[in-house]
Structure 1
Amino acid sequence: MIAKLTGILDDSGPDWAVIDVGGVGYLVHASARTLAQLGNRGDRAVLHTELQVSESDMRLIGFASSGERAWFRLLTVVQGVGSKVALAILSALTVDELQRACAGGDAAMIARANGVGPKLASRIVNELKDKAGGLAGLSGGAGITAENAAIPPGSVSADAISALQNLGFKPAVAATAVAGAIEDLGEDAALGDVMRVALKRATA
């Protein structure tokens, strides 16, 4: 799976960008907020990515931070929220605003996003209210860039999330469980300890 791209911004549009990595151009769909952070054509670009595969389509989704990617994964678990709706929500709200809206049951704030009606906004808030706290530590404010908000590939967090997904847990569930485990045990915790706590959280 392609988890991260580091290259040059070759081109961009309203909801996409092409990142040139060693002469290969990757078409990446992204939120308006992420695209705004990429800068100008020719600038160095770093994107965390999620590869989505369906029967009729394969697309790469890009994010300015691991926090945004974690929220994308969580949003798309909700019935009626596909990648386009999730990106619309992430275009309208920062991950901090999204976390506060879900934790506080503020459906009206979610409904600010294009294509999100009151009924869907209420469903999102109701389903994610209890999970929002687990992603609070992954929320990135305006001053947090892709580099310093990242979960580095090969880190304990990344390995634990990957291991949980291999066990059959959905990406959003795995990310939330690992974030909670790291919060409990500390950043220097061993992989085995993180997995033990994360498994308890994921199956609770």
Structure 2
Amino acid sequence: MIGKLKGIVDSCYHDHVIIDVGGVGYLVFCSSRTLANLTPGDSVMLLIETHVREDHIHLYGFYSSEEKSTFTLLQSVKGVGTRMSLAILSTLSPDEISYALAIKDTTAFSRVSGVGKKLAERIITELKDKYSSNYISEIPITSSAGKDPRINNIAIDSISALVALGVNKAEAQNRINTLLAQDKNISLNELIKLALKN
């Protein structure tokens, strides 16, 4: 299996790139986000996910480990294959996907060509827990949550969304604690909006 390619960008196309590695050209499918970072003639290192089938071997390349792991995660959803995963990553960054999952935003995924409302709902339903276990497991319960499971869930979801957007974990928790102490009936969307304003 090929896990990484380091070479020269030979040529770029709308959904793939040719990487010259020691005179051998590797065709690598990429999202438009990764392709935007590639210029013919430049040296490049791409993380690779290799898919072997009876009739083909396909290479999928990623500029960052976050994009690669998100690509793998997306494919765990029923009805989402490699092409759909790349389409989603071409429209939404890993951070935007994390945020959409945290606030259950189906419209974000519906912006992707080929993703209808039902598939968007399925993506959120099937990935919400996986996303939570990967990104929220290290976030402690906020003191404002108390024993109320609804407040606890909102606190965790809002903190994870802020962290995904680049806010320091401790700072995110402080902001959410303060806002929940002021209004325990606040909605998730409003909580995140106010936390970002602060």
Report the TM-score range of the alignment, normalised by the length of the smaller protein.
0.5 to 0.7
Partner of 2:40: 41
Question: Aligned partner of 1:31: which letter?
Answer: S
Partner of 2:89: 90
Name the SS for the 1:109 alignment partner: helix
Number of equivalent positions = 136
By how many angstroms is 1:133 displaced? 3.2
RMSD (CA atoms): 1.3
Q: Structure 1, unaligned stretches of length 5 or more?
A: 138-204
Partner of 2:30: 30
Question: Aligned partner of 2:33: which letter?
Answer: R
Q: Deviations over 1:104-159 (max 9, x none)?
A: 2111101111111111111001000111134449xxxxxxxxxxxxxxxxxxxxxx
Name the SS for the 1:50 alignment partner: strand
- Tell me if 1:10 matches 2:10: yes
Q: Deviations over 1:38-62 (max 9, x none)?
A: 1x21011111010012233220000
Q: Distance in 1 between matches of 2:15 and 2:135?
A: 26
The 3 A distance-change label for structure 1 pair 134 and 3 is: farther
Name the SS for the 1:37 alignment partner: coil
Name the SS for the 2:96 alignment partner: helix
Q: Distance in 2 between matches of 1:67 and 1:43?
A: 22
- Tell me if 1:132 matches 2:131: yes
Name the SS for the 2:55 alignment partner: coil
Q: Structure 2, unaligned stretches of length 5 or more?
A: 137-198
The 3 A distance-change label for structure 1 pair 11 and 117 is: same
- Tell me if 1:115 matches 2:114: yes
Q: Deviations over 1:156-191 (max 9, x none)?
A: xxxxxxxxxxxxxxxxxxxxxxxxxxxxxxxxxxxx
- Tell me if 1:70 matches 2:69: yes
Q: Deviations over 1:66-96 (max 9, x none)?
A: 1111011111111100100000000000000
Q: Distance in 2 between matches of 1:134 and 1:23?
A: 43
What's the TM-score, normalizing by structure 1?
Answer: 0.64
Q: Which of 124-133 and 88-97 deviates more?
A: 124-133
Name the SS for the 2:108 alignment partner: helix
Q: Distance in 2 between matches of 1:114 and 1:132?
A: 23
Q: Distance in 2 between matches of 1:71 and 1:115?
A: 18
Question: Aligned partner of 2:36: which letter?
Answer: A
Name the SS for the 1:7 alignment partner: strand
Q: Which has the higher contact order (CA 8 A, sep 6+)?
A: 1
Contact 1:72-1:87 at 8 Å conserved across structures: yes
Q: Looking at CA atoms only, which structure, 1 or 2, has the larger radius of gyration? A: 2
The 3 A distance-change label for structure 1 pair 69 and 50 is: same
Partner of 1:188: none
Q: Distance in 2 between matches of 1:53 and 1:114?
A: 26
Q: Distance in 1 between matches of 2:53 and 2:118?
A: 26
Q: Percent identity?
A: 50
Q: Distance in 1 between matches of 2:79 and 2:55?
A: 18
